[in-house]
Each structure stands twice: as structure tokens, then as C-alpha cells.
Structure 1
Amino acid sequence: MIVDLNIGGVLIPGLVVITFVALVATMSVLRLFTASGLNRRFAYRPLVELATFVIIYGLLVQYLPSIGLLR
């Protein structure tokens, strides 16, 4: 189970924290795509951005609790 994060008495749901981490990781991956010129090979860039976010988010949700983080 993913627990809530307590910051100064304010509870933030664990899935929201994972969402922000996935968003930052997605922006980093997309910048790497742009720097390498890989984004020119994609026909519809917004779909690639969404798919990249969903893949990273899914991996984080699946593996963070199993290694002991956000458990």
C-alpha cells in the first residue's frame, strides 16, 4: 500500500507524489529525445509524451513499493 506523505501536518497522497516524480522524469526523457533528434521520427508528438508519462508512472507505481519506498 502506498502511504501518504506528511509535510508540516499536511497529508499528501502517495500517488500524487509519484505523479510529480513521473512528470519530472517524463520531462527529462523528452528533453533527451529532443537533444538526440529522436523526436523528429515520431508522427504525433503529444501521443508519445502521454505514452512516455504512462509508462514511467506505471513503472514507479509497480516498483517503488516493492523496494520499500512509499510503502
Structure 2
Amino acid sequence: MIVDLNVGGVVIPGLVVLAVVALVAATVTLRILAAAGLYRLFAYRPLVELATFVVIYGLLVQYLPSIGLLP
């Protein structure tokens, strides 16, 4: 179960926190792809960006609770 985050009395859902982490990780990954010139291999860049975010978010949701970072 993914717990909520309490910041100064404001409750932030755990999935939103994971989405922000996934957004940062996807941005870093996409910048590395752009620097390496691998975007030339893909026909539709926005679809690659969305798919990268979804894959990273899915991996975070699946594996963070199982390794004990989130109860």
C-alpha cells in the first residue's frame, strides 16, 4: 500500500508523489536520449515521451512498496 505524505498538515497522495518523481526521472532520461541523438530513431517524439513517463511510473508503483521504501 502506498501511503500519503503529510506536509505541514496538507495531505498529498502517495501516487502523486510518485508521479512527480517519475516526471523528473523521465525528463532526465529524455535529455540523455536527446544528447545521444537517439531521437532520430523514433517517428513521433511526444509518444516516446509519454511512453517513457508511463513505463517509469509503472515501475515505481510496482517496485517501491516491495523493496520497503514505501510501506
Q: Is the partner of 1:43 in helix, strand or coil?
A: coil
Correspondence for 2:29: 29
- What are structure 1's unaligned runs of at least 5 residues? none
TM-score, scaled to structure 2: 0.96
**Equivalent residue for 1:18?**
18
Alignment of 1:1-71 (within 5 A): 1-71=1-71
Segments ≥4 residues shifted beyond 2 Å? none
Query: How many residues were matched structurally?
Result: 71
* TM, length-normalised to structure 1: 0.96
Cα deviation 1:14-64 (Å, max 9, x = unaligned): 000000000000000000000000011110001100110010000000000
Gap regions ≥5 residues in structure 2 = none
Superposition CA RMSD, Å: 0.6
1:2 positional shift: 0.4
Aligned residues with identical type, % of pairs: 76
Name the CA distance, whole Å, in 1 between partners of 2:20 and 2:70: 14
